[in-house]
Amino acid sequence: MVSRRYFYNLTIRLVLISLTCFLLCLSFFIYPNYSVIIILFALFLYQVVMLVRYLNRINKKLENFFLFYLSGDVTSSNVKRTQQDEFSPLYMYFDLLNDKLEQARLKNEIQNNYFKTIVDETAVGLISFKADGSVDLFNEAAKKMLGIQVLRNLRKLNNIKEGFSEMLINMESNDRKLISLILEGELIQLATKKVKFKAMDEELHLVSFQNIKPELEEREIESWQRLIRVLTHEIMNSMTPIVTLVGTIVKKLRRKETNTLIETKEVTPEIVEKTVKGLDLIDSRGKGLITFVQNYRSITRLPKPDFQIVNVKDLFTRVMQLFENQLDGSGIELRISCHPSVFINADGSLLEQVLINLVKNATEALDEIDIPFVELSAHSAQEQVVIQVSDNGRGIPPELMEDIFVLFFTTKQSGSGIGLSLSRQIIRLHGGSMTVQSSPGSTIFTIRI
C-alpha cells in the first residue's frame, strides 16, 4: 500500500522509455527516417531526464523527512505533501512513529525530572565527574556540605583542601574514605564512597558524601559515658569497703562518748587482730585499684607495631602449643585451617597476644558442650588476610554484643574487661578491623588486615 502509487508511476515510465527505445531502433534499422529518428531520440532523452528528476524528487522528500527528524523536529508537517503524493501513506506511518517517539521522549523527560528531584532532595551529597575532572552532577546536598553553589571542574575543590580533587579522582571503585575538612572554621568529617560506571561508552565517576561528624560526636559522648560508668563502678567497688573498714578500725580505737583515742593499755589482742585484718583488706583493695589503673594505662600506651612478614600458619601453631598443656584432659579440640603460603605484614608478638586472648575466651565459653572445639583459620581475600577464631560454645547474648569491646566491660568474676578492647586496638594499629558474629553454638571473631 505504501509504495503502490510509486510502483505504478515508475513502471509506466519504464514501459514508455522501453517502447520509445524499441520504436527508435525500429526506425533506425528497418524504416530509416531521419526526422522520425530525431523526434524519437529527443522523446527518449526527455523521458530519461524526467525519470531521473522523478527519482531525485522522491529521494529529496525522504531526505527532507530524515533531516527534520535528525534536527529534532519530530513531526513530518515540514515536508510538503498532497493527497496525490506517492508517499502520503508513508508520511502517515511516519507520523504514528513520531507520536510514539514523542511519547517516549516525554516519558524519559518525566523520569529524568523524577530522578533529578530525588537526587536533589536526598541528604547524601553526590558528585558525578569524568576522568578529566569535568563535573556532570552536583546535587543540593553536596552544595550545602562543601559550601559551593557551582562546580564545573573538581579542581575547584582544591580551594577547600589541597589535593582534594586528586584524592577523589584517584580513588578506586567501591573505595571508602573518611575525609576531614574545615569549612568556615568548623571541622566536618565526610564518609565518602566512589563507584565507576560507563554511560554511552564513557567512564563516569560517582562519589557520595555523608557528614558523619554528628554521629561520631554522639558515639564519642556515649563511649565516654560508658567509660565513666565503668571507672565509677570499679572505683566505688574498691573505695566503699575501704571507707567502711577504716570507719570500723577508727571506732575500735576511739571512745564513743568523748571521741578520744583509747589508751595503749586498753588495746586488746582482739582489737589488734581486727585492725590487722582490716588493714590487710585495705591493702588488698588498694592493690586491686592500682592494678585496675595500670590496666587502663596499658590500653592507652600500646607500643607501635614492628611490622614484619609473618607466616600465619606458624603463628597459629605457636598459639596452639601454648594451650595444649593447659587444655590437656579438657576434651577441647584445637584446630588449624590455614595454607602454609598465607603470609601477613604485621607485628607477630602483638598479633599473637590478640590470638591468645581470643582463644582463651573461646575455651572459657565451652563449658558443658558435648564436642567442644576451637578453630583458627586464615585465607587471603582481595589483598587482605582474613583471620578467624571460632568455637561452638554457648554464644554471646544479643544484649551484650554492643558492650563486649567496651573497655573494662566483663561478665566474668575475675575478668579485667580489657582483653577484647586491647585486642581491637592492636588490630586497628595494624590498619585492620575486628568484628564478631555469634549465635548459640557458634561464635566467630573475624580479623581483617
pLDDT in tens, 111-157: 877 777 777 777 788 888 888 888 888 888 888 888 888 888 888 88
> What are the cell numbers at 409?
566491660
Given a cut of 90, is residue 388 above it in pLDDT? yes
Count of CA atoms in the C-beta half-sphere (13 A) of 29: 6
Query: CB within 8 A of 361, min separation 6: which ones?
Result: 419, 420
- Kindly list the structural domains of the chain, giving each domain's residue range(s) and its CATH number in brackets, ordered by start: 4-96 (no CATH), 122-211 (3.30.450.20), 217-300 (no CATH), 308-448 (3.30.565.10)
What Cα–Cα distance (Å) separates residue 360 from each residue in 114, 292, 374, 449?
A: 56, 20, 10, 21
**With 0-12 CB in 10 A as exposed, 13-18 as middle and 19+ as buried, what is 391?**
buried
**Segment 233-246, tens digit of pLDDT:** 667 766 776 777 77
Q: How long, in residues, is the chain?
A: 449
Query: Is residue 161 pLDDT above 70, yes or no?
Result: yes
pLDDT at position 263 is: 73
pLDDT at 386: 92
pLDDT greater than 50 at residue 211:
yes
Across residues 335-348, what is the average pLDDT? 89
Mean pLDDT of 176-194: 78
Say what the pLDDT of residue 389 is: 92
DSSP assignments along 406-444, one per residue: STT--SSTT--S-HHHHHHHHHHHTT-EEEEEEETTEEE
Count of Cβ atoms closer than 10 Å to residue 228 Cβ: 10
Res. 87 pLDDT band, cuts 50 70 90: low
Cβ neighbour number for residue 154 with a 10 Å cutoff: 22
User: Is residue 74 predicted with pLDDT exceeding 60?
Assistant: no
d(CA 217, CA 47): 91
Q: How far is CA 284 from CA 278, 290, 339, 408, in A?
A: 10, 10, 48, 20
pLDDT band at 2 (very low <50, low <70, confident <90, very high): very low
Residue in 430, 447, 423 with CA at minimum distance from that of residue 347 = 430
Average pLDDT over the chain, rounded to an integer: 78
Lowest mean pLDDT among 14-28, 49-63, 159-173, 206-220: 206-220
Q: Give yes or no for residue 402 having a pLDDT over 70.
A: no
Indicate the pLDDT class of residue 376, thresholds 50, 70 and 90. Answer: very high
The residue with cell 561528624 is 213
Cα 398 from Cα 59, distance rounded (Å): 78
pLDDT for res 71: 65
What percent of the chain has a predicted confidence (pLDDT) above 70? 78
pLDDT at 76: 45
Average pLDDT over residues 80-91: 58
pLDDT for res 297: 62
What is d(CA 108, CA 135) in angstroms, rounded to the nearest whole number? 22
Cα–Cα distance, 73 to 275 (Å, whole number)? 105
Which residue do the cell numbers 524504416 mark? 31
- pLDDT of 189 > 90? The answer is no
**pLDDT value of residue 20:** 86
Strands 373-381 and 333-337: parallel
Element (H, E) at 128: strand 125-130
